[in-house]
């Protein structure tokens, strides 16, 4: 799946539809609850310098700046999302803490050792080159820095057709397994302090999302057209099917260096 597929999925129209289905400011299913859990696990305080890799419309970063008072930089491939996130930060008086910058997770526009925490909320499944992604996270982190993230993971064996259906529905080119992430982190000099299978929560949240989508049928059909609603039902149905079949799931990881 190319960066073009990511840009298309998170175009202004795509992002606004996803936000409507998920929660305010968020393009990920766990919302502020997931952000709070990750922040506690990473020990984020007002002193932390945080980088959110794949920051979307700013959901996690705006919430962290507002609730923890930390300085946070969001990085995202999609320029329109960066613009929107910066506008939202300004509208809430958070622009001194939360700023957003365009760039690729595998080639980050930051000096080495800039951040205390590198953060990801359900974004890294879109990044094809996971070794490069983790290497970049390690590079921009301070020597005793922490990596904390949730992500969509591959949890079962898939045949070619299943793989294609999942990748097409999720705009991702591959999903890592929990083991793959742990290996990459350890190879980069991190100790994995926490690895949690959160697939059950993902499935519950996804069922809620599909129910919400069904209730939005007339609104989406009128605002766009019935075909858009049908495509959304098909894609989200394929995702729920893969969750329920144990092919994909969710994970939460915390790793520390030094
Ligand atoms: C599922 S959304 C999550 C956004 C945000 N973390 C949240 O919780 O709302 C994934 C985000 O990752 C971004 N993304 C995908 N590939 C990327 C890459 N290679 N570099 C930077 N951002 C990327 C997408 O543009 C999208 O905004």
**pLDDT digit string (tens) for 39-90?**
999 999 999 999 999 999 999 999 999 999 999 999 999 999 999 999 999 9
Indicate if ligand 1 lies below 6 Å from the C-beta of 250. no
The structure tokens 């329109």 sit at 80
Q: How confident is the model at residue 258 (pLDDT cuts 50, 70, 90)?
A: confident
Q: Is 10 in the pocket of ligand 1 (CB under 6 A)?
A: yes
Whether 82 is in the pocket of ligand 1, judged by its Cβ within 6 Å, is no
* Residue 32 CB–ligand 1 contact under 6 Å: no
Number of folded domains that form the chain: 1
Residue-number span of the structural domain to which 59 is assigned: 3-257
Q: What is the spatial order of strands in the sheet that 49-53 belongs to?
A: 98-102, 71-76, 49-53, 115-121, 141-154, 248-257, 190-197
Instruction: State whether the beta carbon of 54 lies less than 6 angstroms from ligand 1.
Output: yes
pLDDT attached to residue 1? 59
Q: Which of 76, 78, 77 is nearest to 61 (CA)?
A: 76
pLDDT of 253 over the 80 cut: yes
d(CA 146, CA 117): 5
Q: What is the pLDDT of residues 12-30, one digit of tens each?
A: 999 999 999 999 999 999 9
Ligand 1 center from residue 7 Cα (angstroms)? 10
Q: Does 59 contact ligand 1 (Cβ within 6 A)? A: yes
Ligand 1, atom 4, lies closest to the CA of 56
Nearest-CA residue for atom 13 of ligand 1: 54
Q: How many CB atoms lie within 10 A of CB 140?
A: 20
Q: Give tens-digit pLDDT for 192-237.
A: 999 999 999 999 999 999 999 999 999 999 988 899 999 999 999 9
Centroid of ligand 1 to alpha carbon of 54 (angstroms): 3
For 125-183, write each residue's pLDDT tens digit: 999 999 999 999 999 999 999 999 999 999 999 999 999 999 999 999 899 999 999 99
Is 121 close to ligand 1, i.e. is its CB under 6 Å away?
yes
What distance in Å separates the CA atoms of residue 227 and residue 217, rounded to the nearest whole number? 11
- Pocket test residue of 16, 51, 77, 107 for ligand 1, highest count of atoms within 8 A of CB: 77
Q: How far is Cα 32 from Cα 174, in angstroms, rounded to an integer? A: 26
Query: Which atom of ligand 1 is closest in space to residue 57's alpha carbon?
Result: 9
Tell me the CATH number at 71. 3.40.50.150
């Amino acid at each position: 799946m190319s960066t073009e597929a990511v840009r298309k999925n998170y175009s202004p129209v795509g992002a606004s539809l996803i936000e409507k289905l998920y929660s305010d400011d968020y393009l990920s299913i766990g919302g502020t609850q997931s952000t709070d859990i990750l922040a506690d696990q990473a020990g984020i305080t007002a002193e932390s310098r945080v980088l959110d890799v794949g920051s979307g419309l700013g959901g996690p970063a705006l919430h962290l700046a507002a609730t923890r008072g930390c300085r946070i930089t969001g990085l995202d491939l999609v320029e329109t999302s960066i613009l929107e996130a910066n506008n939202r930060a300004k509208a809430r008086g958070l622009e001194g803490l939360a700023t957003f910058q365009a760039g690729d997770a595998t080639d980050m526009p930051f000096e080495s050792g800039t951040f205390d925490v590198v953060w990801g909320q359900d974004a890294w499944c879109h990044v094809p080159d996971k070794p490069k992604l983790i290497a970049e996270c390690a590079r921009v982190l301070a020597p005793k820095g922490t990596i904390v993230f949730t992500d969509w993971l591959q949890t079962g064996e898939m045949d070619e057709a299943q793989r294609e259906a999942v990748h097409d529905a999720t705009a991702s080119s591959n999903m890592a397994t929990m083991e793959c992430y742990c290996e990459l982190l350890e190879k980069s000099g991190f100790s994995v302090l926490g690895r949690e299978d959160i697939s059950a929560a993902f499935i519950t949240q996804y069922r809620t999302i599909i129910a919400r989508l069904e209730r939005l049928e007339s609104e989406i059909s009128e605002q766009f057209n019935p075909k858009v609603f049908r495509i959304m039902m098909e894609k989200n149905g394929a995702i729920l099917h893969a969750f329920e079949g144990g092919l994909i799931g969710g994970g939460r990881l915390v790793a520390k260096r030094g």
